[in-house]
Amino acid sequence: MITTKALIGAATFGLATLVSSSAIAQSVVETDSAGLIGKQYVGVDLFLEDFRDLPDNGYGAALSYNKPVSEMLDLSAALSMAQVDSRTIDLSSNALEGGAVYYSRLEGFTPFIFGGLGYEWREIDLPGNLPDDKDEGFFYRVGFGFEIPLADKTAAVLKLSYSDGVDSGAEDSIGGEVGINHWCTSNFAVNGSILVVEDDSVSFRIGARFAF
């Protein structure tokens, strides 16, 4: 039986082969793209998360940093903080994650694969006299996507990812994300995205990027 996880793994491997062969074949590297890949920047994001099994939404913020280390590889770091306050449950989650994006510039789009390893701290305050629940541990994330320029300063991003906890209670999940980025100046960009995580949640994110 072919699982969705296996399909994502196969697609990621196939895209990695495409990216590798294209990167070896290309002789000219695009440096002034409409997207975020291949640029050094600091990012700030705010997000709202709609949980399908909770009466209230979650909200949070994230800080990120991206550093190109070669013509095909970016390294990144991110710190996120999220909170859910409802009548039945209060949940807080903080996570620190490091990752890498391997990509290749093709005519009309940029395919990429990515992976990350992080550590998450979660605390759940249950109603009544029920004891609070705390959980922490490592998690990982892998996936692939495409960055597609729409105009000189605007690009769309499509991503599919799989994440799972390593030594914590975090459940495995598959997420699909659609986003858009626009450079208002050569050093300042605004962006937004929608992330759907299986039957669990839908997240709406807005943010800014400061290139340097």
Rounded CA-CA distance 71/13 in Å is: 20
* Contact of 175 with 163, CB cutoff 8 Å: yes
The residue extents of the domains of the chain are: 4-27+39-211
* Contact of 204 with 45, CB cutoff 8 Å: no
Structure tokens at 186: 């050569």
Of residues 37, 191, 189, the one with CA closest to residue 111: 37
What 8-state DSSP symbol labels residue 4? H
The secondary element (H helix, E strand) that includes residue 127 is: none
Q: What is the pLDDT along the chain (212 residues), one digit of tens a residue?
A: 445 444 444 444 444 444 444 444 443 344 578 999 999 999 999 999 887 776 678 899 999 999 999 999 999 999 999 998 766 678 889 999 999 999 999 988 999 999 999 999 988 876 666 666 788 999 999 999 999 999 999 999 999 999 999 887 777 899 999 999 999 999 999 999 999 998 788 999 999 999 99
The one-letter amino acid at 183: W
Q: CATH number for 4-27+39-211: choose from 2.40.128.130, 3.40.50.2000, 3.40.1360.10, 3.40.50.2300.
A: 2.40.128.130
